Amino acid sequence: MAQNARSRKADKVVERMGRKLTRQMVGSLVGCVHCGMCTDSCHYVLANPDDPTYAPAHKADQIRKIFKRNFDWTGRIFPWWVHAEDIRTDADLEKLKDIVFGKCTNCRRCSLNCPMGVDFATLNRMARGALVSVGIMPEGVAIVSKDQWEVGNQMGVLPQDYLETLEWLSDELENEFKDPAARIPIDKMDAEIVYAINPREVKYDPRTISDAARIFYIAGENWTMPSEGWDMTNFGLFSGDDELGAAVAQRVYDRVIKLRGKKLVLSECGHGYRSTRCEGPNWSGKAVPFVIESSVLTMLRYIKEGWIRVDKTKNKEVVTFHDSCNNARSCGFYEEPRELLNLLVPDFREMYPNCAENFCCTGGGGAMSMSEYTPQRLKSAKIKADQLTATEAKTVVTSCHNCVDGLSDVIRHYKLGMKVTQLVNLAANAMMIPEKVVVPVEVPIPAVALPLAGFKILVVDDEPDILTFLAAVLEDQGATVIQAVDGEQALALTVREKPDLVTLDLSMPGRNGGYVFEEIRNNPEITSTRVCIITGKPELRRLIYERPVAPPEGYLDKPVNEDTLLTSVRMILELKHPHGNA
Amino acid sequence: MVGFITDIENMDGIAYYARPDLTLGAGFGTAISTQGGPKVQEALKKFGSANVTDVVATSGENLKARYILHAVGPRFQEEDSEEKLRKTMLNALRKAEEYKLRRIAFPAMGAGFYGIPLEVCARVTMGAVREFLEKAAELEEVVFCLRDSRELNVFQEHLQKMRG
Ligand code: SF4
Ligand code: SF4
């Protein structure tokens, strides 16, 4: 009877839940005694103390009751007795979606604090996967999943763009060290290390790639980056789609095998580390015939074994360290990053609680891609903001790209005025360059050699301070800069001046940046103008990428620092075919 | 073959597994809108929306392929997925004939994000191609451009079965 009353989607969800139940999950489904000990471990609860629907046990009950109604004999016979309840309509599925995607970041802090061993995060992931299999998911999850399935990475970086970015970074490196060997080797056979990264690095933060390349170069490592299977992140972990998890992990493994690499080194990314090193072999059902390690361990080894030397006084700021949930809680990886950090900075202050007990950056579990839940996510970040503030540090270091975005958002929202950085940046900065490596001596650069000479750039922002900052930095590098304070003016100037690049703020009064961007793309005269979005609201990223026009060439988060701005602007301008438009 | 569908040379047309609202969206849609240019989406606007199994053709604009066949296939375990996929494939092949295309490329239609099991995808789409090519006048070559060895292995196994 119950079967017949269900919608097709609800039927398929229940069917999949049944297929995915493991013994461990059954333990979590039946093991809860509702003691409430996990309640205060959840950051959502701490921010919403009067709302019981955020309690981990309550959220778990929403999955538990479906299990009881369909798979547990007591629930089938006496549903009223054991609170069993079926899921019947598409509206029920939508409600479940808002719980499993919108009220939990799968951070596993409650799992760690349950005396009965209930692992709610695993149940939550299973429920997410069941919903995704019938197409019920936040729009952002759909976009990222489709990009990873089809393009091969979470951010839809096209093969040509990836290779051209590496090529450009190689040119920079060669120039810096005046050594033709100082390049990023691509698809080199039999390398000791195959280095896989997070696509965020190509799209928003190429400096992390060049910092890693600097370290490999100075260490004299025999390394390479793969041309395919280079995305070590895996949205399957977040969306609960084990098939995606398996496909993505297998692509990375296949490439290392093809290149006969000895070791796969993963750049700093918590969920990438967990997916590729820990879960991937299970999802793909295949043993991995090579070693997989985090770049944190690689850097630590280089320093301890003397491959590179570092001077920690070069990193002057007081720093604290944020643990990625996937690294620390799910993989027990928290001692090594601290050991490395202590070699790289003179003043490191712990936040409390820390290590496996640390709180989520609140951008975990794919939350950064789900803009519809942004207000509740940022509200739940109060505890993270308090933790950060209490350290009195000016910089927070983390070993995860996802946490960089999550923390940056928290810092902006709570106006904490802190910087976020990663261990690779600190290591590259502290690294001493041996004398045999020739580096350019700092000499005054003649005006003609300024890197942005000859480029016309239109900067658009409604905040005068930001306009002045952007213009000053770009003009110092030789660019001709024009300024616009609103959308109207921006469009008129783009048509009239035909700039090589427009840096565009998204939230402006009147015609906002999204509108301006779409107008630029839809006007054949200026459609191929390169655009770099600069915004303090990362959730707006989604709106831009969802527009039915070619995406922007670059994207930067506010506050923008000078180095990142220049690296991104130069990369956009100097790449031959930015996103295929030129 | 394993490759990236918008990067292969010498194709008269490529297929895109489209949404009923004909918005290009993410995945290969990103590649088409960035490499093909905004005119592709503009051309799609004229069609409005489409039903499952419908196929509409647009110019490839700046893409290497001259045409894009936007094929609206079944999604996320909807009813009669197999039969709908077969019809979508046949409609795409018919559209290719109508536009006198000689070489066209398909991705693994509906597999991956839209959840058609790879085995079903290989069996149905390759079956439809074989059925169609027997009576095709213009179409000479159909390529399956797959993303990885996992997809390739399933397609190759099925090809062996078809030959055997
Ligand atoms: S701590 Fe464990 S047993 Fe207690 S309410 Fe939470 S999940 Fe249930
Ligand atoms: S996994 Fe984290 S976010 Fe989810 S309920 Fe548990 S503590 Fe809260």
Cα separation, A378 vs A107, whole angstroms: 15
For ligand 2, which residues put their CB under 6 angstroms from it? Answer: A 41-42, 44, 56, 59, 104-110, 120-121
Mutate which of A33, A44, A63, A120 for ligand 1? The one with the most ligand atoms within 8 Å of its CB, which is A33
Same domain, A170 and A84: no
On whether any CB of chain A is under 8 Å from the CB of B120, the answer is: no
Is residue A30 scored above 50 in pLDDT? Answer: yes
Residues A174, A65 share a domain: no
In this structure, are A335 and A356 located in the same domain? yes
Residues A382 and A392: their CA atoms lie apart, in Å, by 16
Q: How confident is the model at residue A87, as a pLDDT?
A: 82
Contact A136, B19 (CB under 8 A): no
Using only C-alpha atoms, what is the Rg of chain B? 15
- Alpha helices per DSSP H over A78-136: 90-100, 109-112, 120-132
d(CA A1, CA A6): 9
Query: A64: domain CATH number?
Result: 1.10.1060
Tell me which of A90, A145, A149, A575 to substitute to probe the interface with B (most B C-beta atoms closer than 10 Å): A149
- In chain B, which among 39-98 make CB contacts under 8 A with chain A? 41-42, 62, 75-79
For residue A343, being part of any structural domain is answered with yes
Global confidence as pTM: 0.88
Query: Total domain count for chain B?
Result: 1
Shortest CA distance from A521: residue in chain B? B38
Q: Say if residue A447's pLDDT is above 70.
A: no
Examine the fold and report which residue of A430, A461, A477 is the final residue of a domain before the chain moves on: A430
Residues from chain A contacting residue B37 (CB–CB below 8 Å): 527, 550, 581
Q: Are residues A323 and A416 in the same domain?
A: yes
Of A12, A254, A548, the CB nearest to B149: A254
Spatial distance between the Cα atoms of A281 and A249, rounded to a whole number of angstroms: 8
Residues A52, A181, single domain; the answer is no
Give domain status of residue A439, yes or no.
Answer: no
Q: Does B153 touch chain A (CB under 8 A)?
A: no
User: Are A378 and A474 in the same domain?
Assistant: no
Chain A residues with CB under 8 Å of B62 CB are: 580
- Residue A1 resides in a domain: no
Q: How far, in Å, is the centroid of ligand 1 from the Cα of A129?
A: 23
Do A502 and A469 share a structural domain? Answer: yes
Is the pLDDT at A173 greater than 90? The verdict is: yes
For residue B29, give its domain range: 5-163
CATH of the domain at A542: 3.40.50.2300
Query: Does some domain include residue A291?
Result: yes
Q: What is the pLDDT of residues A108-127, one digit of tens each?
A: 999 999 999 999 999 999 99
Are A128 and A147 within one domain? no
Which residue in this structure is represented by tokens 């538990």? A64
Return the higher-pLDDT residue of B27 and B164. B27
- Ligand 1 centroid to Cα of residue A109, in Å, is 12
Distance from CA of A550 to the nearest CA of B (A): 4
pLDDT digits (tens, 9 = 90+) for B66-118: 999 999 999 999 999 999 999 999 999 999 999 999 999 999 999 999 999 99
* Model confidence pLDDT, tens digit, residues A183-234: 999 999 999 999 999 999 999 899 999 999 999 999 999 999 999 999 999 9
Residue A326 has pLDDT above 90, yes or no: yes
Cβ of residue B37 closer than 8 Å to a chain A Cβ? yes
What CATH number is associated with residue B27? 3.40.220.10
Q: Does residue A161 share a domain with residue A109?
A: no
- Characterise B96 by phi-psi region: left (phi > 0), alpha (psi -120 to 50), beta (else): alpha
Residue-range definition of the domain harbouring residue A345: 142-430
The per-residue pLDDT for A515 is 85
A327 and A228 assigned to the same domain? yes
Do residues A172 and A220 share a domain? yes
Does ipTM top 0.90?
yes
Domain count, chain A: 3
Whether the per-residue pLDDT at A439 is higher than 60: the answer is no
Determine the average pLDDT of the residues in A75-93. Answer: 77
Contacts of A8 in chain B (CB under 8 A): 77-79
Is residue A380 assigned to a domain?
Answer: yes
Does A412 fall in a domain? yes
Quick one: what percent of chain A has pLDDT higher than 90?
A: 74
| A49 and A165 share one domain | no
In a domain, A20, yes or no: yes
